[in-house]
Structure 1
Amino acid sequence: MKKALLSSFITAIWLHAIEIQSVTFNGLLHLSDESATEISGLKIGGQFNDEIASKAIINLYKQGYFENIYIEENNGNIVVNLVEKPVIAKIDINGVVTNDQKSIEQIIDIKKGQMYDEFALNNTKIRIRQFYEARGYFDTVVTTDIAPINENKNSLHITLTVNRGENITIENVNLIGADALDYSDIEPVVANKSREFMGWMWGLNDGKAKIYELPGDSGKIQDEYLRRGYLDASVSAPSLNAHFDNYKADLSYYINEGEIYKTGNISINAPDFLELDTDEIIDDFKLQKGDTLNSSWMNLDAQKLENLVANKGFAYAKVYPRTNKNSDYTADIIYEVIPEEKVYIRNVIISGNDRTSDRVIRRDLYLTEGNLYSKIDLVDSKNALKRSGYFEDVQIVEKRISKDQIDLEVVVKETATGSIVGGIGYGSSDGLLLNAGVSDSNIFGSGYKGSIMIDKSDDTLSGNINLTNPRVNDSAYSLGGGLFANDYSWDEYDEQNYGANIIGGRQIGRYINAYLAYQIERSQIKGLDEFYRDAGYQNGINIKSAITPSISFNNTDDYYVPRSGIIASTSLEYAGVGGDMEFIKNRTTFNIYQGLQDYIDMDLIFRYKSGFGYIFNDDSSKLPINEKLFLGGISSLRGYDSRSVTPKKKICNPKANNGGTIYGCEIIETGGKISFNNSFELSFPIINRLKMRGVIFYDYGMIGHSDINEIKRSSAGAGIEWITPIGPLQLFYAQALDDKPGDDTSSFEFTIGRRF
């Protein structure tokens, strides 16, 4: 193209060099004369001939501003005539929806204000077609209309009209030659799936072909075979047979399965200085001799071994599993361990903490400058920071500095820990709900936790003020306290109480905390009728003065949505340090969380939650009713009203009536002395970008006075878990499964602020 320009632009052939007397540029808009002179190389006093002229034209043309250049010479006076390309003043994209238009504007090669370039325009049309092909639309047509905006034709209006193509829908996926696997086995892992009935519905496969993901699907199918022990399996490249008359297609893979291999001998090849107990390590592997060889399990075992070596300071350790096939269709596994050098921490860099001070982060780090690297310390540090509740995400990036040094960058993404709450709602059991308050679990980034809250419903009015320093002077000790006041109107009585508490604690190791709390509380019971009085309950004022030692364990990997770990606690409240109550009450909880991503390649979380309560008191009827045990509600047994599941007793009183005696009877709630409740939950993603998940659950509880089997109730349901800007919200629909006459049930329940 440049050669053609030269032949048309140069009007004469100079056989001998001529000295340049002057240089004039005609048609410059975007370049100055000085810049053009420097680029072209044409300078007064210099030489000029056909070769120099050609070079000048080429140098100017490379700038991309010009569509026509020619040079004239008269007695050493050089005139360079230039015609600049027009500027793109306006771009319209027609025929696309708003979201697509925004995406297309980001990927096209032409932009407003740029010089017009035909190559860039053609490349833009290609990119638009590729954009839709990546989303499964084929035969997309892009037409262009180029119109000058002014008389000089140096400004252009470009209109791109897009006629989006059609989706290719996969009707069938054929695994030709497959016996061990069928389509249902590979469907969860491949990107290209066959269309299901009513596939347009959310959660069903629409069958749209994803061309750019097709090559990777063959490898995913082969991985499924390797997970099942077919070490010799081979899967062909995908064959998509599309019919462009109806845009439907069949997708086929040609498969040679081979035989299933069992696991043979397992050994570890590692340097002696690592001092690995290889027999013990192999015994702890998931894949054992005689098992069907599973590549996923083998890789998990390799990762486990790599972490063990990394815990000894070898941050760059690598473990490579090798398989040696035997003629009897067994395969020996040798884990090759390459430890490299021991590694020490050079620097720990903290970033992303706009509010939280560095010291608050560092107190949860188990690796710091000068420490020997340890993988378990790294993981525990990350989990401890996520358990704090201060951060939405935590990443610890390892940056290799040398063969024996590493830098750690702790990258945190802070979450909203403080909120000013004012709300109105409605609950099926509580009626109109009003709440207001302010809370922050990381006050001014200091790690302090504090709150002032007031809640009002049809039956309750409560308020509290709390302040806690979880790490006094960044030590292992904590100290906190609060004031509270409550006014409850239960079905059978009214309760008013107020008081204060103080609690001190100490961290023991990484996962255990021990606490000692003192509480003083004044409570008043009013409204108990004669039937409750006959049952031993009394109206009046009681003073509780109690100390409560407790211990808790938490090794979960996140505060709001843990995917691994255990939360457990037990406390023993002793009332009788002054006051007029005397009892001992135990409360124990145990929660376990397990993500299933590594097992079924889906982001499911299994949770088991349980609670146990027991009152040690020879005559528990002498206790105020508000100290007894009850089940029901969102925290124990969903589907039943709060505190409605409890032992009941029929009390009859004689009454005189015209000289005769009749008996009036009433069923009263006596409260329980022993209780147990547990829940099984399965959490799954709904909208990841909104941090919204769904949950299905089954709750079961037992409560009694002398026998825990006295009352048994269960429920099941589903709900939504959503981390909102004002805190985690849970909304449940629950159905009581075995409710009895007289039970108070509740279908819809919600809460804000509780971890999942």
Structure 2
Amino acid sequence: WMPWRNNGEAAVDQLEYDAFRVKNKYMENGYLDAEVSKPLMRVDPGSYKAEVDYQITEGVQYHVGTIGVTQEIKGLKAENLKDLLTLKEGKVFNVKRMRTDIKVLEEEVGNLGFAYARVMPQMKKDPETKIVNLQYVIQPGQPVTINDVIISGNDTTKDRVIRRYIYLAPGDAYNTRDLQDSKSALGRTGFFESVDIQTQRLSEEKVNLLVNVKETSTGTISAGGGYGSYEGLMVNASISDRNIFGSGINTTLGFEISQISKNGNLSFINPKIWDSMYSFGLSFYKRDYEYVDYTQDQVGASVTLGREFLRYFNGSIGFSYSDNQSTLNDNSVSTIENFLYDDQYEKTAFNVGVRFDNTDDFYMPRRGMKFDVNFEYAELNGNDFNATVFPGGYGTVLRTDAKLGLYYGMEDLIDYDLILRAKVQFSYIDREEGEKLPTAEKLFMGGIGSVRGYEPYSLSPHLPNGDLVGGTERTIGSIEASIPLSAAAKMRLAAFYDYGVIGSDRVFLNGAIATLGDVSRSSTGVVLEWQSPFGPINIVLAYPIDDEADDRTASFEFSMGTRF
């Protein structure tokens, strides 16, 4: 269905198989009695063209009459199994859905320990009424237990690190869902290029789990950058290892340098303290960013403690401290700019977060959902404020951040590795009336991870003279479609559309409280996604759709070492 997937040359060895493919397509549309002849190929030597003919007898189109499930497994109800089936009574028969339903039934029985259950479909056709009655007969076999878990392919990662993510252990009853969840959990670590888990049958009641992994490069020297009309050439780099010494511990030492910024960070994250359900993280950072009118200098640290629960969920609490110094770049700036940007304060924050993740891969998920919600309660302390305008001083801030990512691979439906993605993020900041919210704590848009096609942090509500005041509410959405370019090179091409809107609840302007209008922007473009030997690389070519005259656009950006 995509022209570039077919070169137009005849594959003679596939002609006979094409007859079976055509018959299968008819059976997907209810024609169970369809007959397709062997191919007849006529070749024109002069034009090097050929015609291939098939003789097809369709027969009648069948609808589904009754569907039943025959089984004798204790604790399993046939009616509950019928509710899981995609082939429904009264609908046109579809052999593809029947095969899907067979797999569903095998998985449901497999969740009860029957690793080698067989599902036999029995069809009774009536050409007169054009009805086919379907009966699934389940032959469960013997319940199976795990004898051993045998791990191979891990040259660096320790066996015990891999076993953390396998939900089946020696002596456990076999479970299909646990097997699939184990494969997905290993894929989400980002330690492996591929993960394969097979069963090795030892007897009617015993199996070994054969876990074979192919490790990917987790220790990288990452680099990225871009070019913008405001920041000029931007360069960033980091030395990191998500799996240092094969221990599963994530460490990062990074920096970013451009004409207007100098940032550095050091972080340490242990996702499984002593192979437990608890995680621990520690980070230090220093950020120095020069905006048009002021320079923001931040130094801070944070500590986080988390725990995994209910397999896909992770809860965390954290504490952070930062010292923030914003200074004006020019002593001759206006009173308004001094009011907006000249802030010196300390921030102490307490964080609570919940994360859900059932995706199947860290860098390139093809199924599943990710959802994060984080609440930050912060106290700001400083004395450089106008007590008349802000009688409450810097005060306290409550910030809410939520992110949602949905991933769906289309290969099972269209036999092509198309990946669809939808992402939404929302942020909201609340504080008491009469308290000052520094510009550095407000929200902005632009750049990778936001609305691409605009320079980082360059979009927000602004004053009539163009000064950005930052926002207190922000929503950003993205839809993406990713197709393979080269499987051997691990290279893909994604098209995207971004849309974001940001607003501010109130600002102090000309001696009074004022409300500025919301700012909305959108963009489209393509991303070259390359899983290189040095880590994942994103090259972004973006086109801002509704940019305005004073917007700072960035049509080209690239990054290395980030999660797609």
Q: Same fold (TM over 0.5)?
A: yes
Greater Cα offset, 638-647 or 543-552: 638-647
Q: 1:708 to 1:237 in 2, by over 3 A?
A: farther
CA contact (8 A) 2:226 2:557 kept: no
Percent identity of equivalent pairs: 39
Q: Distance in 2 between matches of 1:450 and 1:305?
A: 44
Q: 1:621 to 1:258 in 2, by over 3 A?
A: farther
Q: TM-score, normalised by structure 2?
A: 0.92
- The one of 293, 298, 311 equivalent to 1:492 is 293
In the TM superposition, residue 428 of structure 1 has moved relative to its aligned partner by 6.2
Equivalent residue for 2:551? 743
Equivalent residue for 1:158? none
Deviations 1:423-466, CA, capped at 9 Å, x for gaps = 77645664223334311000000111101111111221111111
Deviations 1:544-601, CA, capped at 9 Å, x for gaps = 1101111101000111111111111010111118776520111100001111112222
Equivalent residue for 2:405? 591
- Confirm or deny that 1:417 pairs with 2:221: no
Secondary structure of 1:721 counterpart: strand
CA contact (8 A) 2:69 2:81 kept: no
CA contact (8 A) 2:228 2:553 kept: no
- Confirm or deny that 1:291 pairs with 2:91: yes
CA contact (8 A) 1:345 1:370 kept: yes
- The one of 155, 176, 179 equivalent to 1:354 is 155
Deviations 1:630-665, CA, capped at 9 Å, x for gaps = 111111111222112211122xxxxxxxxxxxxxxx
Report 1:124-523 matches (<5 A).
203=4, 205-271=6-72, 273-326=73-126, 327-421=128-222, 426=227, 430-523=231-324
CA contact (8 A) 1:429 1:642 kept: no
- The one of 375, 386, 404 equivalent to 1:572 is 375
Secondary structure of 1:214 counterpart: helix
Q: 1:221 to 1:673 in 2, by over 3 A?
A: same
Q: 1:578 to 1:471 in 2, by over 3 A?
A: farther
Deviations 1:499-537, CA, capped at 9 Å, x for gaps = 111111111121111111111101111127325347x42
Deviations 1:462-486, CA, capped at 9 Å, x for gaps = 1111111111100011111011101
- The one of 659, 666, 676 equivalent to 2:475 is 676
- Confirm or deny that 1:540 pairs with 2:354: no
Equivalent residue for 1:606? 420
Equivalent residue for 2:537? 729
Q: 1:519 to 1:688 in 2, by over 3 A?
A: same
Q: Distance in 2 between matches of 1:224 and 1:709?
A: 55
- Matched AA of 1:541: Q
Q: Distance in 2 between matches of 1:255 and 1:322?
A: 25
In the TM superposition, residue 620 of structure 1 has moved relative to its aligned partner by 8.3
Q: Distance in 2 between matches of 1:425 and 1:631?
A: 17
- Confirm or deny that 1:622 pairs with 2:430: no
Deviations 1:58-94, CA, capped at 9 Å, x for gaps = xxxxxxxxxxxxxxxxxxxxxxxxxxxxxxxxxxxxx
Q: 1:484 to 1:238 in 2, by over 3 A?
A: same
Q: Distance in 1 between matches of 2:55 and 2:8?
A: 20
Deviations 1:695-726, CA, capped at 9 Å, x for gaps = 11111111111399822222222221110111
Q: Distance in 2 between matches of 1:314 and 1:555?
A: 24
Q: Distance in 2 between matches of 1:423 and 1:565?
A: 28
Greater Cα offset, 714-723 or 349-358: 714-723
Instruction: Structure 2: give runs of 5+ residues left out of the alignment.
Output: 383-393, 506-514
Q: Distance in 2 between matches of 1:725 and 1:427?
A: 28
Q: Distance in 1 between matches of 2:419 and 2:516?
A: 30
Equivalent residue for 2:334? 530
Q: Distance in 2 between matches of 1:581 and 1:227?
A: 65
Report 1:637-652 matches (<5 A).
637-650=451-464
CA contact (8 A) 2:294 2:341 kept: no
Q: 1:735 to 1:350 in 2, by over 3 A?
A: same
Q: Distance in 1 between matches of 2:112 and 2:5?
A: 48
CA contact (8 A) 2:453 2:554 kept: yes
Q: Distance in 2 between matches of 1:325 and 1:647?
A: 68
In the TM superposition, residue 279 of structure 1 has moved relative to its aligned partner by 2.0
CA contact (8 A) 1:537 1:621 kept: no
- Confirm or deny that 1:552 pairs with 2:355: yes
Q: Distance in 2 between matches of 1:224 and 1:727?
A: 41
Q: 1:204 to 1:438 in 2, by over 3 A?
A: closer
Instruction: Structure 1: give runs of 5+ residues left out of the alignment.
Output: 1-186, 189-195, 197-202, 651-665
In the TM superposition, residue 284 of structure 1 has moved relative to its aligned partner by 2.8
- Matched AA of 2:297: Q
Q: 1:373 to 1:620 in 2, by over 3 A?
A: farther
The structure that has the greater radius of gyration is 1
Higher helix share: 1
Q: 1:321 to 1:354 in 2, by over 3 A?
A: same
CA contact (8 A) 2:188 2:362 kept: yes
Q: TM-score, normalised by structure 1?
A: 0.69
Over aligned residue pairs, what C-alpha RMSD do you find?
2.0
Q: Distance in 2 between matches of 1:620 and 1:726?
A: 50
Secondary structure of 2:20 counterpart: helix
Greater Cα offset, 703-712 or 252-261: 703-712
- Matched AA of 1:688: A
Equivalent residue for 2:386? none
Q: Distance in 1 between matches of 2:435 and 2:473?
A: 13
CA contact (8 A) 2:315 2:353 kept: yes
Q: Distance in 2 between matches of 1:352 and 1:470?
A: 22
Q: 1:722 to 1:427 in 2, by over 3 A?
A: farther
